[in-house]
Amino acid sequence: MPHQVFEAAVRETREEVGATLVDARLLGVLENLFRAGDGKHVHELCFVVTGHLVETGFGEPEWSDLVRDTGQPLAWLPEAVLRAGSVPFHPTAVLAFLEDQPKPPP
């Protein structure tokens, strides 16, 4: 796996949540085909990376008014909310990668 994938994961984690991602490792790669809200067909490759967060300064995750290039709001949501299907989440196949992962302490 190219080293750039891990560099991007560390950089984006720092930019988005103000935390440092350590011990990053690749869970897998997903191919995701879907239609965006504007009707355009989208084809993306999703590198699913896991690791540990240190130096966090973001408190309890919540919905954000921040809108990126997709025009969609961003949110940090508990895994249970994603599994319940109460909010749109893509690609849903990423949840399969989480099945074999150790759960964080409560």
User: Is the per-residue pLDDT at 74 higher than 70?
Assistant: no
CB 96 within 8 A of CB 89: no
**Tens digit of each residue's pLDDT (9 = 90 or more) over 17-65:** 778 889 888 888 889 888 888 899 989 888 888 888 786 665 555 555 4
Q: Which of 21, 74, 30, 8 is nearest to 50 (CA)?
A: 21
- Neighbouring C-beta atoms of residue 80, cutoff 10 Å: 8
Q: Which of 78, 94, 95 is nearest to 46 (CA)?
A: 94
Average pLDDT, the chain: 76
What dihedral angle (degrees, nearest 10) is formed by the CA atoms of 97, 99, 102, 106?
Answer: 110
